[in-house]
Structure 1
Amino acid sequence: MKRIKPRSSGCAALIVLASVGASLQVGETMAASSEPSVASSAAPASSSRSANRALRKRVYAAFAKDKSIEAGDIGVSATDGAVTLTGTVADAAQIEKAGALASSAAGVQSVKNKLTVRRPFGQ
Structure 2
Amino acid sequence: MKTMNGLRVALGVAIAAASISGWAQDGASAGASAGTASAAVTASGGMTATAARQANRALRRKVYAALAKHKEIDAGNIGITAKGGAVTISGTVPDASLINTVAEVAKGVEGVTSVGSKLTVQKPFGE
TM tier, shorter chain? 0.5 to 0.7
| Shift, 1:70, TM fit | 1.1
| Residue 88 (structure 2) aligns with | 84
| Shift, 1:122, TM fit | 2.1
Secondary structure of the 1:108 match is coil
| Shift, 1:111, TM fit | 0.1
Alignment size in residue pairs: 83
Q: Please list, as runs of the form range in 1=range in 2, the aligned pairs for 1:29-108 lying within 5 A after superposition.
A: 44-108=48-112
| Shift, 1:92, TM fit | 0.5
Secondary structure of the 1:111 match is strand
Measure the CA separation in 1 of the matches of 2:79 and 2:68. Answer: 13
Instruction: Provide the alpha-carbon RMSD of the alignment.
Output: 1.6
Amino acid at match of 1:89: V
Report the TM-score when normalising by structure 1: 0.64
Higher CA-based Rg: 1
Secondary structure of the 2:89 match is strand
**Structure 2: tracts of 5 or more residues without a match:** 1-42
Measure the CA separation in 1 of the matches of 2:82 and 2:114. Answer: 10
| Shift, 1:68, TM fit | 1.1
Amino acid at match of 1:91: D
**Structure 1: tracts of 5 or more residues without a match:** 1-39
Secondary structure of the 1:115 match is strand
Q: Give the share of equivalent positions with the same residue, in percent.
A: 52
User: Which of 98, 113, 120 matches 2:117?
Assistant: 113
Runs of 4+ in structure 1 deviating by more than 4 angstroms, as ranges, are none
Report the TM-score when normalising by structure 2: 0.63
